[in-house]
Amino acid sequence: MSAVPDTIIETEGLRREFTVGRRRARRRVVAVSDVDLRIAPGEAVGFLGPNGAGKSTTIKMLIGILVPTAGRLQVCGLDPTRQRRELARRLGVVFGQRSQLWWDLPLRDSFELLGAIHRVSEPEQRTRLERCTEVLGLDGFLDVPVRQLSLGQRMRGEVTAALLHGPQLLVLDEPTVGLDLVSKERLRAFLQEVNIVDGVTILLTTHDLPDVERLCRRVVVIDQGRVVADDAIDALRARSGGAREVVVELTAPAAPLEGLPGVREVRVEADGLRQRLAFTPGDTTAAALISAVAARAELRDVTVVEPSIEDLVRRLYAQD
Ligand SMILES: Nc1ncnc2c1ncn2[C@@H]1O[C@H](COP(=O)(O)OP(=O)(O)OP(=O)(O)O)[C@@H](O)[C@H]1O
């Protein structure tokens, strides 16, 4: 394997514009603007944003299939536009609708072709394929032509194809789309192993935020082409208000439990039998809140809920 550089992804002032419309209606659209990113070897980073935010455009520049309008970038120590072929040896990509598999060939043959293209040694290829086959459960469909595979089967094939040559960086766009819950969990666990045990850097774009919670400690959020947040998930939670909720189930319906110290919002459900009390850690604690509720109503059950990163990201989009 080639030497691992200090920074796997480094961009400075990255920008991409497109020209849209015809003749007099022609105008420039700025898809990505001023993106500065530094991702170190071994990191797993979630790259999130609403539709049209500029995620795919950024990824296309990172993997060398789109030339930036301005800015500087290096991926795995290489210039993606000028050294695209060298980069392909260090990079694994699972990118939405684009397949790297041969539609009419059985999955196994696609893997063989990819191994030959990347000049992977036979034993290495065998070891990696065996591991993926076992962990991702490819056994039942290795000899089926790709066009006959379900989306979930194909995605597992795509992930295998992206890993066969032992990349330094794995770029994943919606890798768990079309998978049932069990396969999703299996793939997440596998990707986590690839990241932690093998040290492969992961850049993950997904609308499935549990993927991010499971795999990434850091999240970069992009909106309207600009990075609006780049931080550890925990820090983002704290920064965005970080409201936690104590959810109380009562033995009898009660009026909204307003006026408890430190509570920002009370939401009543099930006719007052369940109430959700949002608070900011620092203002009060879950324990103090539970005692205060217990003094006013009889409790049947209590849970403390962390904000999901879904809420968190939604709030970030709303802020900027
Ligand atoms: N080839 C293109 N020609 C013109 N405009 C484009 C082109 N590709 C992207 N855009 C525009 O650039 C902006 C960013 O698009 P991009 O596909 O990067 O967003 P995205 O974050 O990947 O969205 P999604 O989550 O929907 O895939 C959008 O306004 C889009 O319309």
Domains of the chain: 42-56+80-231 (3.40.50.300), 243-319 (3.30.70)
Residue among 64, 67, 105, 109 at smallest CA distance from 86:
64
pLDDT for the residue numbered 181: 85
- Kindly give, in sequence order, each residue whose CB lies less than 8 Å from that of residue 100, ignoring residues fewer than 6 positions away: 93, 110, 114, 158, 161, 162
pLDDT for the residue numbered 310: 65
C-alpha of residue 223 to centroid of ligand 1, in Å? 11
Question: Which residue of 14, 27, 30, 57 sits with most ligand 1 atoms within 8 Å of its CB, as the best mutation to test the pocket?
Answer: 57
Regarding beta strands 169-173 and 201-205, do their DSSP bridges make them parallel or antiparallel, or are they unpaired? parallel
Reported ipTM: 0.97
pLDDT for the residue numbered 152: 85
pLDDT for the residue numbered 62: 96
pLDDT for the residue numbered 93: 94
Neighbours of 299 (CB within 10 A): 13
pLDDT for the residue numbered 200: 96
pLDDT for the residue numbered 138: 93
pLDDT for the residue numbered 214: 85
Residues in contact with ligand 1 by the CB-under-6-Å rule are 18, 20, 29, 31, 49, 51-57
* Residue located nearest, by CA, to atom 28 of ligand 1: 52
pLDDT for the residue numbered 179: 82
* Residue located nearest, by CA, to atom 13 of ligand 1: 31
- Kindly give, in sequence order, each residue whose CB lies less than 8 Å from that of residue 160, ignoring residues fewer than 6 positions away: 111, 128, 129, 132, 133, 136, 138
* Residue located nearest, by CA, to atom 14 of ligand 1: 54
**Average pLDDT per 10 consecutive residues for the chain, totaling 320 residues:** 79 96 89 96 93 92 95 96 92 85 94 91 92 92 94 91 95 87 88 94 87 89 91 75 83 93 90 90 88 94 79 65
Structure tokens at 9: 């992804």
